[in-house]
A = this chain, B = another copy of it.
C-alpha cells in the first residue's frame, strides 16, 4: 500500500450498525491544510452531509473527512442538517481546526435520524486512535461498507523528477449504484501538492470516465460523494503543470479501479461485466448506450443465467435513444461474434453459455458504426441474492 505522507485515519464501532464487530465510523485527517475537491450526486433529493460538504469544496485548508455507515442521514429534514454539521464540528474540535475544514459523509438507510450521542462518542474515540498504518486505512474502508463484502482500497506511486508522491483511494458500493453526472462514495488522499481548483478539474475528468461509467441497478443515490484531499506533504512544493497532468492520469486510474471494485462487489453479483461500446459520435452518446445495456434487467438476468441472449443487448442498444442503424451493428460476447451488420451469426451456444457460467468476468462489446467515440462501462449481473438483499433491507 502506497500511503501518502501526512495523513492519518481511524475507524471505530460507534453503534450505528447492529453488529459490534463491524466498524461504522471513520475519521481521515491531514496533518497539514490540504487542497480539497469533490463531486456529488445529481439527485435532487440529496442527503444532509452532501448539502454540507458540497458547500465546502473546492477549498484550500481542509483538514479531514468524517464518515459514518449504516445510516444515510438523507430525507431527515432540518434535524439531519444539524446532525451533519454537528459531526463536522465535533471532529474539528478534536483535531483543532474550524468546523468548515471538515467534510462529512454518510451512507446507509434513508429517512432515519442519526443516533447522535453514539456518533459523537465515536468521533472522539476515533480521534484518539489516528494513525497512518495500512491496518488503519483498511479499517477506514471497512467502516464505510454497508452490504459490501470487502473493503475497496487502491494506491499508486507517481514518480516525479525529484522523489515521488502517493495516491490512496477508498470506496464503498454495493447497491443504489447509478451515478449520473456525479459519483459514488469514495475518498482519495495524496501527498502531492496542487491547488484546489486544479484538483477539482482533474477529479471531474477522472470521475467522468470511472464512477460515471458505473451502474449496478441504475438508481442514483441520495448520498454519492467523491472527495480528494491533496496535502503536498511529499514535496513541500506544488506540482508543475506537466506533473499535474500526470496526477490527472493517476487519479483517473485510481477512480477506474475503485469503480471496477464496486461493480465486482455489487450486491449479490456473480459476474463483473465490462461493456465496451464503440463507434459512436461522442463519448456521451457511447456512455448512454453502454448505460442502457448496463441497466437492462433483462441483460443482467441473462448474464446471471449464463445465457448468451444477444437479442436483449441489441434491443437495449435500439431503445437507448441514439439514432443507430440496425444494419451497422455488431455484438461480441467475450470475443465471440454473435451479431454482424443486422444479421445473426452462427456460434456455439452451449460452449459460450458454459464459458459465461465458468467465468466471473464477462465482456460485452458493441460496435455501432456511426463514429469514432467509445466508452468503457462497468456493471454486474442481477441475481436472486440481489433481490433477496433488497427485499429484506429495512424490514
Smallest Cβ distance from A319 to chain B, in angstroms? 4
Contact (Cβ within 8 A) B302 A111: no
Q: Is A66 an interface residue (CB 8 A)?
A: no
Contact (Cβ within 8 A) B390 A387: no
Q: Is A336 an interface residue (CB 8 A)?
A: no
User: Which of A23-31, A188-196, A338-346 has 4 or more CB atoms under 8 Å from chain B?
Assistant: A338-346
Of B112, B221, B314, which is within 8 A of A315 by CB?
Answer: B221
* Residue from the set A46, A75, A220 with the largest chain B CB neighbour count within 10 Å: A75
Q: Is A249 an interface residue (CB 8 A)?
A: no
Smallest Cβ distance from A10 to chain B, in angstroms? 29
Smallest Cβ distance from A17 to chain B, in angstroms? 17
Contact (Cβ within 8 A) B311 A46: no
Question: Which of chain B's residues have a CB closer than 8 A to the CB of A386?
Answer: 297, 301, 387
Smallest Cβ distance from A292 to chain B, in angstroms? 9
**Majority-rule SS of A interface residues:** loop
Question: Which of chain B's residues have a CB closer than 8 A to the CB of A219?
Answer: 296-298, 312, 315-316, 319
Alpha-carbon gap, A215 to B388, bound state (A): 22
Alpha-carbon gap, A311 to B297, bound state (A): 22
Question: Which of chain B's residues have a CB closer than 8 A to the CB of A343?
Answer: 77-78
Contact (Cβ within 8 A) B44 A307: no
Contact (Cβ within 8 A) A317 B45: yes
Q: Is A127 an interface residue (CB 8 A)?
A: no
Question: Which of chain B's residues have a CB closer than 8 A to the CB of A344?
Answer: 75-77, 111-112
Question: Which of chain B's residues have a CB closer than 8 A to the CB of A176?
Answer: 298, 312, 315
Q: How many copies of this chain does the complex contain?
A: 2
Question: Which of chain B's residues have a CB closer than 8 A to the CB of A393?
Answer: 302, 305, 307, 309
Alpha-carbon gap, A217 to B301, bound state (A): 11
Contact (Cβ within 8 A) B45 A318: yes
0/1 string, A282-324, CB within 8 A of B gives 1: 0000000000000111100110111111111011111110111
Q: Is A139 an interface residue (CB 8 A)?
A: no
Contact (Cβ within 8 A) B394 A314: no
- A297-B217, A326-B75, A344-B77 known; A315+B390 contact, CB < 8 A: no
- A74-B311, A219-B296, A219-B316 known; A305+B390 contact, CB < 8 A: yes
Alpha-carbon gap, A382 to B297, bound state (A): 10
Q: Is A353 an interface residue (CB 8 A)?
A: yes
Of B310, B320, B391, which is within 8 A of A301 by CB?
Answer: B391
Contact (Cβ within 8 A) A391 B305: yes
Contact (Cβ within 8 A) B217 A315: no
Q: Is A109 an interface residue (CB 8 A)?
A: yes
Smallest Cβ distance from A368 to chain B, in angstroms? 10
Contact (Cβ within 8 A) B222 A315: yes
Contact (Cβ within 8 A) B77 A315: no
Contact (Cβ within 8 A) A307 B391: yes
What would 12 A/B residue contacts be, using CB atoms closer than 8 Å? A43-B315, A43-B318, A44-B318, A72-B311, A74-B311, A109-B311, A110-B311, A110-B312, A218-B296, A219-B296, A297-B386, A301-B391
Among all A-B residue pairs, the 5 with the closest Cβ atoms: A110-B311, A305-B391, A45-B318, A301-B390, A220-B319
20 further interface pairs, Cβ-Cβ under 8 Å (given A46-B326, A175-B298, A219-B296): A41-B319, A43-B318, A44-B322, A44-B326, A45-B318, A45-B326, A74-B315, A75-B342, A77-B343, A176-B298, A176-B315, A218-B295, A222-B315, A298-B390, A304-B391, A307-B392, A349-B395, A383-B387, A384-B387, A386-B387
